[in-house]
């Protein structure tokens, strides 16, 4: 007894007529009759009482109708569930993020858009320092990471995609000697106690850039693990810090942000994932994010083109 036999049986049971059932199944009536007889022979008894005009179910046939309907419904449910899993509509995506990724807005935009498109996929989010995200993605306990591009040498087993860029601002206590200036230059940071993010890689991009720009006048006084801790220590007057510009959205009493005239210290927001990813849900998330990124780039280019045409017209 296979699924085809059950489908044929149910067609006859519902139509109560071999001719109509055969037409519904798009097969010839003799072939349908042979299949039903084969099923009855396999089960060891009649399933239908045949008359010249129609057929009726035997008690065994009535029982089989209930069980066959339940079986085929379960098969269809299984088929749909597997197809949805293959398309990434179900499953789990574990996302790590550094605090700065939240303030950029990109993380929330990606998660919101993916959830709207794939509402049954499970999303798990966790704040982690960049180096911990690297390790978690490598060992399989995290699927996607959002982090500043701290590492000049990338792991060949991971995929690094730039999904955002921002300048850096200087954060300090409101009574700091530099707080009365609207814009700062790199030279103004010389010898100032710096509050830096904690990272394992001492040759990080920001460290290297500051060392090149400030030389011996670079004074790293603290290394802190989180953005809020950096802001708190700066507000306490323990030093100044360079943070991604989106962080300036966080209003804290006693803390001010100042523009830094240095494009060299801009930061990239990276989306990191495994190169050999096999999870359909994770692949769907990555592709969805890439699609949104491309749409955003095209929108910006169109906006710039329109603005340029307007300026020429003026």
pLDDT digits (tens, 9 = 90+) for 269-297: 899 999 999 999 999 999 999 998 888 76
Per-residue pLDDT band for 301 (boundaries 50, 70, 90) equals: low
Would you state the pLDDT for residue 312? 61
Total of domains in the chain: 3
Would you state the pLDDT for residue 269? 87
Would you state the pLDDT for residue 203? 44
182 and 56 co-located in one domain: no
Would you state the pLDDT for residue 79? 87
pLDDT in tens, 43-73: 999 999 987 777 899 999 899 999 999 999 8
154 and 296 co-located in one domain: yes
The CB-based long-range contact list for 274-280 (8 Å cut-off, 24+ gap) reads 274/137, 274/138, 274/143, 274/157, 274/158, 274/159, 275/156, 275/157, 275/158, 275/159, 276/157, 277/143, 279/88, 279/91, 279/92, 279/93, 279/143, 280/85, 280/86, 280/87, 280/88, 280/91
14 and 51 co-located in one domain: yes
Would you state the pLDDT for residue 37? 93
240 and 291 co-located in one domain: no
Question: Does 306 have pLDDT greater than 80?
Answer: no
247 and 173 co-located in one domain: yes
Lowest mean pLDDT among 120-129, 149-158, 217-226: 149-158
273 and 261 co-located in one domain: no
Would you state the pLDDT for residue 165? 81
Domain containing 309: what range? Answer: 92-164+269-313
229 and 180 co-located in one domain: yes
178 and 308 co-located in one domain: no
Angle, in degrees to the nearest 10, between helices 59-86 and 3-15: 120
CA 260 – CA 262 distance, rounded (Å): 6
282 and 258 co-located in one domain: no
Would you state the pLDDT for residue 202? 41
CA dist list (Å): 135 to 235, 268, 286: 32, 20, 19
pLDDT in tens, 196-253: 877 654 446 777 888 888 899 999 999 887 778 889 999 999 999 998 888 888 888 9
What CATH number corresponds to the domain at position 114? 3.40.190.10
CA 3 – CA 72 distance, rounded (Å): 7
């Amino acid at each position: 007894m296979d699924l085809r036999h059950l489908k044929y049986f149910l067609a006859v049971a519902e139509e109560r007529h071999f001719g109509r059932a055969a037409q519904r199944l798009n097969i010839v009536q003799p072939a349908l009759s042979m299949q039903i007889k084969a099923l009855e022979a396999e089960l060891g008894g009649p399933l239908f009482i045949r008359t010249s005009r129609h057929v009726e179910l035997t008690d065994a046939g009535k029982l089989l109708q209930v069980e066959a309907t339940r079986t085929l419904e379960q098969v269809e449910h299984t088929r749909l569930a597997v197809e949805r899993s293959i398309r990434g509509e179900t499953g789990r995506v574990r996302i790590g993020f550094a605090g700065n990724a939240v303030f950029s807005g990109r993380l929330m935009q990606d998660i919101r858009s993916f959830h709207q498109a794939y509402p049954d996929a499970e999303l798990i989010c966790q704040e982690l320092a960049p180096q911990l995200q690297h390790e978690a993605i490598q060992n399989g306990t995290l699927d996607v990471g959002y982090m500043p591009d701290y590492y000049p040498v990338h792991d060949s087993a991971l995929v690094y995609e730039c999904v955002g860029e921002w300048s850096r601002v200087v954060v300090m206590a409101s009574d700091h000697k530099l707080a009365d200036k609207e814009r700062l230059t790199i030279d103004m940071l010389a010898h100032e106690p710096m509050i830096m993010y904690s990272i394992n890689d001492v040759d990080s991009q920001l460290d290297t850039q500051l060392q090149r720009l400030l030389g011996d006048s670079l004074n790293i006084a603290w290394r802190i693990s989180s953005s809020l801790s950096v802001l708190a220590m700066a507000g306490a007057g323990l030093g100044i810090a360079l943070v991604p510009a989106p962080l300036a959205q966080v209003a804290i009493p006693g803390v001010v942000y100042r523009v830094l005239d240095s494009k060299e210290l801009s930061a990239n927001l990276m989306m990191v994932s495994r190169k050999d990813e096999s999870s359909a849900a994770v692949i769907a998330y990555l592709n969805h994010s890439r699609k949104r990124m491309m749409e955003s780039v095209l929108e910006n280019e169109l906006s710039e083109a329109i603005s340029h045409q307007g300026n020429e017209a003026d």
